[in-house]
């Protein structure tokens, strides 16, 4: 059974003008995969992640995680599902300004009632893994963008989620920090077998994935798998993006 199944997923935002953000989107993700989602601005990438995350409701179709539909849960169960099974990383980091690095990272464990001693142990492990040990007492405003995003990733994975969802995680980073963040996510995927679903405009970031799914107008357009080399995968991604059309910022001409 696939870890994640997206079945004919449709999302229409009603309003003065109804917008179809997702249109019978269909794909699945196996346990341990690292899947990128690419497509022009407005093609439904964020909507997809939000529906998978139960932040948003589908209009039609369904999502299934390990065979269960998280949208069928009641409110409390849904909150637990998000807290236990999912990790989120956003473009804007979304750290809490008044908490230190270690408090931000440990927050999901404390909310979940994990004993302090166990939380402390996991905190030290994850901070070491993400090279944040020297920053533990600092506040977000005292960090670089890369350090902020590593803190956000630490917070997203400290509870060993079944699925890590990332929406443009490198969108606010310079290319060096973006490379560090991508190496890190790909190491987490390889070493801990954390399944990752990541939306990105950045072809270099996407070249770290094991597969990239392209969406257009909320529909599945195509997918490509990484072969032996990240360099040639990068080139295939660029070629697919130019076929796909869309805005020029999709075309990153920086070599990986
Ligand atoms: N809350 C909302 N209310 C109404 N329309 C929305 C809402 N969120 C998204 N949309 C519309 O749904 C479509 C898909 O938006 P979405 O944010 O998923 O695109 P995206 O692929 O993430 O774009 P980008 O690359 O710019 O982040 C767009 O037409 C957008 O205007
Ligand atoms: Mg988006």
CA distances from 222 to 67, 168, 214 (A): 24, 20, 5
Each residue's pLDDT tens digit, 33-88:
999 999 999 999 999 999 999 999 999 999 999 999 999 999 999 988 888 899 99
> What is the CB neighbour count within 10 angstroms for residue 229?
11
Over residues 160-214, the pLDDT tens digits come to 899 999 999 999 889 998 998 999 999 999 998 999 999 999 999 999 999 999 9
Residues whose beta carbon lies within 6 Å of some atom of ligand 1? 13, 15, 19, 21, 39, 41-47
For ligand 1, pick from 42, 92, 172 the residue to mutate: most ligand atoms within 8 Å of CB: 42
* DSSP reduced 3-state for 206: helix
Which H or E element spans position 220? strand 219-225
| Mutation probe of ligand 1 site: the residue of 6, 9, 13, 58 with most atoms within 8 A of C-beta | 13
CA 173 from chain center: how many Å?
A: 15
Q: CA 150, CA 18: separation in Å to the nearest integer? A: 37
Residue nearest atom 13 in ligand 1 by C-alpha distance: 21
pLDDT for res 152: 95
Rounded to the nearest angstrom, the distance between the alpha carbon of 1 and the centre of ligand 2 is 28
The domain locations on the chain are 4-91+163-250
The fold for domain 4-91+163-250 equals: Rossmann fold (3.40.50)
């Amino acid at each position: 059974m696939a870890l994640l199944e997206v079945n004919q997923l449709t999302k229409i935002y009603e309003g003065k003008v109804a917008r179809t953000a997702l249109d019978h989107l269909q794909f699945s993700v196996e346990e341990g995969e690292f899947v990128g989602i690419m497509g022009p601005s407005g093609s439904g990438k964020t909507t997809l992640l939000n529906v998978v995350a139960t932040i948003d409701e589908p209009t039609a179709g369904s999502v299934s995680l390990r065979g269960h539909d998280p949208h069928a849960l009641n409110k409390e169960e849904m909150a637990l599902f998000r807290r236990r099974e999912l990790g989120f990383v956003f473009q804007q980091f979304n750290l809490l300004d008044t908490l230190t690095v270690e408090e931000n990272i440990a927050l999901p464990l404390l909310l979940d009632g994990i004993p302090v001693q166990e939380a402390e142990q996991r905190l030290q492990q994850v901070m070491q893994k993400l090279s944040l040990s020297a920053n533990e007492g600092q506040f977000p405003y005292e960090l670089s963008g890369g350090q902020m995003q590593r803190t956000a990733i630490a917070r997203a994975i400290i509870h060993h989620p079944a699925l890590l969802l990332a929406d443009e995680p490198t969108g606010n980073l310079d290319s060096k920090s973006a490379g560090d963040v991508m190496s890190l996510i790909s190491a987490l995927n390889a070493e801990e077998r954390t399944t990752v679903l990541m939306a990105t405009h950045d072809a270099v970031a996407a070249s770290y994935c094991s597969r990239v799914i392209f969406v257009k107008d909320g529909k599945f357009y195509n997918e490509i798998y990484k072969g032996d080399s990240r360099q040639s995968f990068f080139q295939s991604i660029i070629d697919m993006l130019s076929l796909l059309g869309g805005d020029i910022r999709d075309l990153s001409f920086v070599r990986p």
